[in-house]
């Protein structure tokens, strides 16, 4: 791949064979190309920090085989109704003081009820008033619901495609791939930024991973944010016994994502707790530039916040757009409070 000074053209016409060819490059070549591409559009030494809060936990009617929030699986998860605005704001303020620039709120619904929309709008407007970006993941959205959330100022909406179209039915049967594409279309049409990615390690093969990336890259515009999750094997879910996922294949997937969607934020999401520091460093080298910065991802655990801060410091990586002025002890205790909002010992694995 050459890097000329000509105007760079973002592609929305990727073919799966081309993507497989990227996956199969020698590892060093792939990482060199991905890092070179990354440097064209991003400061290589910054990451975007997001914090995630579960605003409604468990009892989801969907059957996503990786998810402890599905009512169909006995994972011991404690169910919770939609949080009160005061709880949400307490968590958002703590997240802001801890250095997060985006506050993501997730609810385990098939789709929101219209009766919940006023509460969601209040959450969006009050979190935005703190000066933070807002993101929600609430399941499928109708056109009208997407417009209402956009009008309230919601910046991002997360809705993952999860895997390739052909492997999808092995993982979820209660909503179709097309349903997901329609929600992404409604989000985009309403003017919100799209956050969409997938999960690796669900038994899919490399062809499926290439297929997922082709679907994401060939959307009318690339998702602004692309979470690349690694399966967290939660006891009680059908995928609890899945084979371990090969770490180098995870890094390759990050690198290929960066090459295909060079202007998007690529996020290390669920599964980061299973990655050692060296693997996370390789993921940053491959072009990842966003992490969830919180000890729990709603219900799935994440690296401890102070470990994250230490790793970023070791690597000379800064938080994008936010400079933390508080002493470390205050920052860490604030972050602990944010994460405690997720309360449950079980892992939350919201993939929308
Ligand atoms: S991933 Fe989302 S839609 Fe699927 S079961 Fe979990 S909460 Fe429900």
Say if CB 309 and CB 339 are below 8 A apart.
no
Say if CB 152 and CB 120 are below 8 A apart.
yes
Q: What 3 state SS string does 17-64 have?
A: HHHHHHHCCCHHHHHHHHHHHHHHHCCCCEEEEEEEEEEEECCECCCC
Task: Please give the backbone phi and psi of residue 241, each rounded to the nearest 5 degrees, phi first.
Answer: -105, 15
What percent of the chain is predicted at pLDDT more than 90? 62
Quick one: angle between helices 277-285 and 247-260, nearest 10? 20
Between the CA of 111 and the centroid of ligand 1 the distance, in Å, is 10
Give the chain's radius of gyration (CA, Å): 19
Residue closest via CA to ligand 1's atom 5 equals 70
Quickly state the pLDDT bin for 341 (edges 50, 70, 90): very low
Query: Which candidate in 180, 188, 258, 267 is catalytic?
Result: 267
Quick one: angle between helices 16-23 and 247-260, nearest 10? 130
Beta strand spans in the chain (E): 46-56, 102-107, 133-137, 156-158, 193-195, 198-200, 225-230, 265-268, 290-292, 296-297, 300-301, 318-319
Task: Please give the backbone phi and psi of residue 61, each rounded to the nearest 5 degrees, phi first.
Answer: -75, -10
Task: Please give the backbone phi and psi of residue 106, each rounded to the nearest 5 degrees, phi first.
Answer: -120, 135
Residue 344: pLDDT over 50: no
Indicate the length of the chain as a whole number: 352
Residue 348: pLDDT over 50: no
Question: What number does the ligand 1 atom closest to the CA of 63 have?
Answer: 5
With a Cβ cut-off of 6 Å, ligand 1 is lined by 60, 62, 64, 67, 69-70, 108, 139, 350-352
- Residue 6 has what pLDDT? 58
- Residue 223 has what pLDDT? 96
Q: Name the residue of 61, 65, 69 whose CB sits within 8 Å of the most ligand 1 atoms, as the mutation to test its pocket.
A: 69
Question: 200 vs 321, which has greater pLDDT?
Answer: 200
**CA dist., res. 310 & res. 304, Å (int):** 10
- Residue 327 has what pLDDT? 37
- Residue 50 has what pLDDT? 78
Query: Which candidate in 102, 180, 188, 195 is catalytic?
Result: 195
Residue closest via CA to ligand 1's atom 3 equals 352
78-107 confidence digits (pLDDT tens)? 888 888 999 999 888 888 877 777 888 999
- Residue 3 has what pLDDT? 52
Q: State the distance between the two ends of the chain, measured CA to CA, in whole angstroms.
A: 35
Query: Residues with Cβ < 8 Å from 318, sequence gap 6 or more?
Result: 45, 46, 47, 312
Q: Taking residues 128-152, what's their average pLDDT?
A: 93
**CA dist., res. 81 & res. 150, Å (int):** 23
Quickly state the pLDDT bin for 294 (edges 50, 70, 90): low
227-282 confidence digits (pLDDT tens)? 999 999 999 999 999 999 999 999 999 999 999 999 999 999 877 878 889 999 99
DSSP result, 229-283:
EE----TTSTTTTPPPPPHHHHHHHHHHHHHHSTTSEEEE-TTGGGS-HHHHHHH
- Residue 335 has what pLDDT? 39
Question: What number does the ligand 1 atom closest to the CA of 68 have?
Answer: 6
**CA dist., res. 297 & res. 352, Å (int):** 13
Interstrand relation of 225-230 and 290-292 (parallel, antiparallel or unpaired): unpaired
Query: What's the whole-model pTM score?
Result: 0.85
* Chain-centroid distance, C-alpha 170: 21
Quickly state the pLDDT bin for 75 (edges 50, 70, 90): confident
């Amino acid at each position: 791949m050459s890097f000329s000074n000509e105007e760079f053209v973002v592609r929305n016409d990727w073919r799966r064979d081309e993507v497989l060819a990227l996956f199969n490059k020698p590892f060093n070549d792939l990482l060199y190309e991905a890092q070179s591409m990354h440097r064209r559009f991003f400061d290589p030494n910054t990451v975007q920090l997001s914090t995630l809060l579960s605003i409604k936990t468990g009892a989801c009617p969907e059957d996503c085989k990786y998810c402890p929030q599905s009512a169909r699986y006995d994972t011991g998860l404690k169910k919770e109704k939609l949080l009160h605005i005061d709880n949400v704001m307490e968590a958002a303020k703590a997240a802001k003081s801890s250095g997060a620039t985006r506050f993501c709120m997730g609810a385990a619904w098939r789709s929101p009820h219209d009766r919940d929309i006023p509460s969601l709008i209040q959450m969006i407007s009050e979190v935005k008033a703190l000066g933070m970006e807002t993101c929600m993941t609430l399941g499928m959205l109708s056109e009208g619901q997407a417009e209402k959330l956009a009008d309230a100022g919601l910046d991002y909406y997360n809705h993952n495609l999860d895997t390739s179209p052909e492997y999808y039915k092995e993982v979820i049967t209660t909503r179709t791939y097309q349903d997901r594409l329609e929600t992404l279309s409604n989000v985009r049409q309403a003017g919100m930024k799209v956050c969409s990615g997938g999960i690796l390690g669900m038994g899919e093969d490399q062809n499926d991973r290439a297929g997922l990336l082709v679907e994401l890259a060939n959307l009318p515009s690339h998702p602004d944010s692309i979470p690349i999750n690694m399966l967290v094997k939660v006891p009680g879910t059908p995928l609890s016994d899945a084979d371990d996922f090969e770490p180098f294949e995870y890094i390759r997937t990050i690198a290929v994502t960066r090459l295909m969607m060079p202007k998007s934020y690529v996020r290390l999401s669920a599964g980061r707790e299973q990655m050692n520091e060296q693997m996370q460093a390789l993921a940053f080298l491959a072009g990842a530039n966003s992490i969830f910065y919180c000890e729990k991802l709603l219900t799935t655990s994440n690296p401890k916040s102070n470990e994250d801060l230490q790793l970023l410091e070791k690597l000379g990586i800064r938080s994008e757009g936010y400079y933390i002025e508080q002493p470390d002890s205050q920052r860490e205790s604030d972050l602990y409070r944010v994460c405690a909002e997720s309360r449950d010992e079980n892992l939350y694995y919201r993939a929308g």
